[in-house]
Structure 1
Amino acid sequence: MHEALFWQFGTGFESRGQILNVSLFKSIFYEKRTMFDVHFQLRYPRRGKNKTPNYSLPAAIYFVVNVDGVLSTPRTTGMKVLKDDWDSTAQKINGSSDEVQHKNRRLKRIKSDLDALEQELSATMDVVTSQHIVDVYVGKKQKRLTVSKAFDNHLETIRNPYDKEEALKEKSMEKWDRSKELVEEFLKSIKMENLPVIHFTLPLAEKYRKFMVKKYKFGKDHTSRNLSYLRTVFQEAKKDGEVPNNPIYDVELPRSRPKKPEPLTLLELQRLIDFRAKDIWLQQSADAAIFMCFTGLDHCDYMNFDADRHIITIDNVKIIRMVRQKMCRKGYRPEPVEIPILPEAMAVLDKYNGYLPKIKYNTILDQVRQIMSMIRVTKNISMKNLRKTCGTYLLNKGVRMEVVRDVMGHETIAITEKIYTIVYPETIINEFRHLLIG
C-alpha cells in the first residue's frame, strides 16, 4: 500500500514540476532501517609478560557485527594474514594469488551471508541485536554442516591445493575417497545420512570403529587410519570456523607394531633364482622379484624403470641411475642413486631385452607369496623383503656400509646400520674359517 501511495504522490508532485527525493519521501512511510555493518579485524599473537602483540606473525581474522552502534563479540573466520598484506580500508587481503583470492571470496561470502541473515531476522522480529545475529549465523552453519559435506569440502581442498607440488598421489586420493565411502556407509547403516559434524561424538566414533571391524574385518591400523582421516576433516572444518570444535579430537588411534621385513637367505635366494613355472605370469613375477632383490628397487621404482633412460655405462660397467620415488616429497628432489647391475639382475634384463614386465603391486605381491610358498620360504613376505634382501646381500658380500647407503638411497648411514646389520650364517663361517682351520 505504501508503494502504491508513494507512486501516486510522486506522480502528483512531478506533474506540478516538483522533484521529490525518493529516499527522503520513503522515510515518511517507512521506519528508519537499522544500521547494520560487518567489520573484519585482526588479532595478533601476544608475547611477554605485558602480552604485547607480535606484529611479525600472522594475525587471525575475526568478524564483528555492528547493529546501531552495538558490537557483537568477535568470531574467527578461520583465516590468518600478515599485517602488511591486510588492507583495513578495503577490508580485504592484498595479492593476486589463488590462495588470496580464495580467502577474499570467503570474507565476502561471510559478509553477504550475515547481511542476508539480518534482513531475514528483521522481517520476523521487532528487535534484532548484533549478538543474536552472530549466534544464529554460527548455529546455522554448525547445524548445516553434515559429516558428508565436511568430507566433500576437504576432498575438494586436497584435490586442488594452492601449491600444486603438494598434490596427493593417485593412490593416496583413492584411500581418502574410500574413507569417505566407509563413513557414508556407516551413517546409512544407522539411518543418519545427514548427521551434523557436531553430533558425531566419541561414542559414535567407537561405534564406527566396531562397524569397520565387524563388517570388513579391519585391524587396528586400518580402523585407526580411517578414523584419523575423519578427525582431520573435522579439524579442518574447525579451522574454517564452520564448527566450534572437533568432536573426535581425542579419539584413540591405536596402531600395531610394524613387523620388520626379513631378508631372504642365500639358500632362499638361490631357490628363487632356480624357480621355473609353466604359468608365464607366475614366472614373470619371479623374475621381477629377482631383479628387485639384486637392485634394491622398490615396486614404484621398478614400475618407473626404463632401461633406455636409466642405464648408463661407467668404466665398462652398466649402472642404474634413477631418483627414488619415495624420496620425492613436497617439491624436494633428491640426488639419483647409482646401482651397479649384478649378474643376477642383468640376466633378467637380458631375458626381456631390457623391457621388464610391468605388474601391479597387489598382483605381484600375491604371486610372490605363492612362489615363496612353493620354494619353501616360511617368512611373512612383503615387497619390502625384496629390497631388504639387496642391502643385506651387499653387506654380507663385503661391500662397505657407506657404499650400501648410497646404493639404497638412504639419507644417513645410521638408517643403513639400523636396517641392514643382519649377518648370514655363511658370512660368519667364512669370517672364522681361517681360525677353524688353524
Structure 2
Amino acid sequence: MRTRSTFSISFWISTARRDDNTAKIYARITLDSRRANLSLKYTIPVDMWDSKASKVLGRTKESQEINRYLKEVESELFQCYRELRSQTPHITPQMVKAKYFGEDESQMTLMALFEYHNTHGAHLLSKATISHYKTTQKYLLRYIKKHYRSEDYKLCLLDHRFIVGFETFLRKLHPVHYHGKLSNNGAMKHIQRLRKMTTMAVNNDWIERNPFQKFKVRMEKKEREFLTLKELQDIQEYRTKIERLRIVKDLFIFSCYTGIAYCDIMNLTDNNIVIGIDGKYWISTKRLKTKNTFKLPLIGPTMPLVKQYQNHPKRKGGNLFPKISNQKLNSYLKEVADACGINKNLTFHMARHTFATTVTLLNGVPIETVSKMLGHSNLGTTQIYARVLDEKISEEMSGLEARFEDGFLGSNPNFGFESYEKKVSKS
C-alpha cells in the first residue's frame, strides 16, 4: 500500500552571526518529519517580520516585493516536490532542495558510490579486501531489489531505517559458501563496509548527514578455534589417494607450522626461500593485508613440503604450491576433518591460530616473537590469536609449586601469612 507523505513549506528568520538587529530569511522544507533549510536572498530588520503569518509586515513596496518572492519560492518548491513525486515514491527534503537549485544531488546513487569506492580506494586495499567489498555491494543490491523493487538507490535516501533493514536482510541470508545463515559478526562486517563507504559519501558532500549516527555495530567476542597437538598430528598422519585432499592437507600443515595466511601462501615463490642468520632455510615475504615484511625459519615438515611440490604439474609460474581457491580449500578441509574424526569447523585460517597457540606459545615462544612472525603491526592483534592455554597454565603453575616444595618459602612455614596477620592485628 502506498503511504501518504506529509509535505510543507515554512519561512523563518535567523539573527545568527548578526549584531545589527537584522535577520536573514530562510525557507524550511519539511517532509515526513525530516527537514532541509535554504537561505533566501533577503535580509530585513527583525521587527519587520511577522512570525505567525511567516511574512514581512507593512505595505511598503519593499515589503510587498519580498512577500511576492516568498510566495514564488513556496510555489516553486511545491512544484519540485510534485515532479519528484511523479518520478519516485522515495523523496527527501534534500532532494527537493537540490532540484530547486538545479543540482544533481538526487542522482547520486549507491551504485555510483560503489564504483567510486572501488576505483579510488583500490590502491589502499588488498585484492582480498576489495573482493569482500564487492560481496557487500552485491548483497546491498539484492536487498534493494527485494525490499524497494529497484535496481539502484539514491544516496540521499539513506537513513537509519535502511541500515536496520539491511541488517535484518543479512541475518536471514544463506550465502552459497556457508553451511547456514550469516553469523552476527559476518553480518556486522558487511555493515561496517557500508559504513565506510557512506563516510566517503559524507566526506565528498554527496549526503548531508551520516545515517550511521544512531546505529551501533555490535561485534560478538568469540573464542578462536585452533587444533590441539593430537588433532594436528592426526591431520599430519592422514593419508589419502585423492589428490585434491592431499594438496589441501599439505597446504594446511604448512600454514600450521608457519602461520602464513592463505593469500600469502598462494603468492609464495622460490624467491621467498632464503638462507637465514642460522644458515638454515627461512621464508622472507610481505603480508598482502598489512604490507608488513616478516621472516621466519622453516621448521618441522615445512621444507620437505616445499621440496615435495618442486616438480608438481599443478605448480605454475614459480609458485611454491599449486593454486586453489579459498572457497574450495575450506570446503575440502571439511572432508579432511571428517576423515580424521575432528569435530571442529576446520577452516584454513584455523592453521594460523594453531601456529600462534599449539605450535609456538605452548612451546615457550614469547608472544613478541610470535607477533613478528605473524607479520602483525601491533601486539594487541596477536593477542586475539594467541591465548594462554590451560596446558601452559598447568605447566607453569606446576613449576611454581615445585619451587615451593623445594624450600622457596625458606625455613619459616608461615612466611607471608605471618606478616599478613601482623598487619591485621595492627589495624
TM over 0.5: yes
146, 164, 168: which one aligns with 1:206: 164
1:224 aligns with 2:211: no
Residue identity opposite 2:96 in structure 1: G
1:158 aligns with 2:121: no
- Distance in 2 (CA, whole Å) between partners of 1:146 and 1:174 is 28
Q: Which residue of 1 aligns with 2:338?
A: 373
Give the match for residue 308 of structure 2.
351
The Cα offsets for residues 183-215 of structure 1, whole Å up to 9 and x where unpaired, read as 333333345426644445434443443334345
The structural deviation recorded for 1:320 is 1.1
- Cα gap change, 1:174 to 1:404, in 2 (>3 Å): closer
- Matched to 1:262, the amino acid is E
Q: Select which of 289, 303, 316 maps to 1:326.
A: 289
Structure 1 counterpart of 2:274, from 307, 311, 316: 311
Q: Counterparts in 2 of 1:38-437, with a 5 A limit?
A: 70=42, 139=96, 141=98, 145=105, 149-161=108-120, 165-166=123-124, 168-193=125-150, 196-214=154-172, 216=174, 217-247=181-211, 249-257=213-221, 259-328=222-291, 334=292, 336-353=293-310, 355-392=320-357, 393-412=359-378, 416=382, 419-423=385-389, 425=391
Contact 1:301/1:325, CA 8 A, preserved across alignment: yes
Letter in 2 for 1:179: T
Gaps in structure 1 of 5+ consecutive residues: 1-63, 73-125, 329-333
Return the TM-score normalized by structure 2: 0.59
CA distance in 1, matches of 2:209, 2:190: 20
Distance, in Å, in 2 between the alignment partners of 1:385 and 1:309 is 23
Structure 1 residue 350: deviation in Å? Answer: 1.9
Q: Describe the shift of the 1:184–1:265 C-alpha distance in structure 2 as closer, same or farther (beyond 3 A).
A: closer
Distance 1:201 1:261, change over 3 A: closer
Residue identity matched to 1:156:
E
Contact 2:122 2:130 in 1 (8 A): no
Q: 1:181 to 1:266 in 2, by over 3 A?
A: closer
In 2, are the aligned partners of 1:142 and 1:197 still within 8 Å (CA)? no
Q: Quick one: which amino acid aligns to residue 326 of structure 2?
A: Y
What CA deviation, in whole Å up to 9, does each residue of 1:367-387 have, x standing for no partner? 223212221222333333212
Which sections of structure 2, spanning at least 5 residues, go unmatched? 1-37, 45-67, 81-93, 175-180, 312-319, 407-427
* Paired residues of 2:371 and 2:382 also in contact (CA < 8 A): yes
- Displacement, 1:313? 4.5
- In the TM superposition, what whole-angstrom CA distance separates every residue of 1:299-325 from its partner, at most 9, and x where no partner exists? 122111112333334443111111222
**RMSD value over aligned CA atoms?**
4.2
Relative to structure 1, is the Cα distance of residues 145 and 190 closer, same or farther in structure 2, using a 3 angstrom cutoff? Answer: farther
Deviation at 1:397, TM superposition (A): 3.3
Q: How many residues align?
A: 309
Change over 3 Å in CA distance of 1:345–1:428 after alignment to 2: farther
CA deviation map 1:350-380 (0-9, x unaligned): 2112832222211111222321222122233
> Which residue identity is paired with 1:386?
A
For the Cα contact (< 8 Å) 1:312–1:319, is it kept in 2?
Answer: yes
Which amino acid in structure 1 is aligned with residue 115 of structure 2? E
Counterpart Cα distance in 2 of 1:414 and 1:184: 36
Shift of 1:282: 0.4
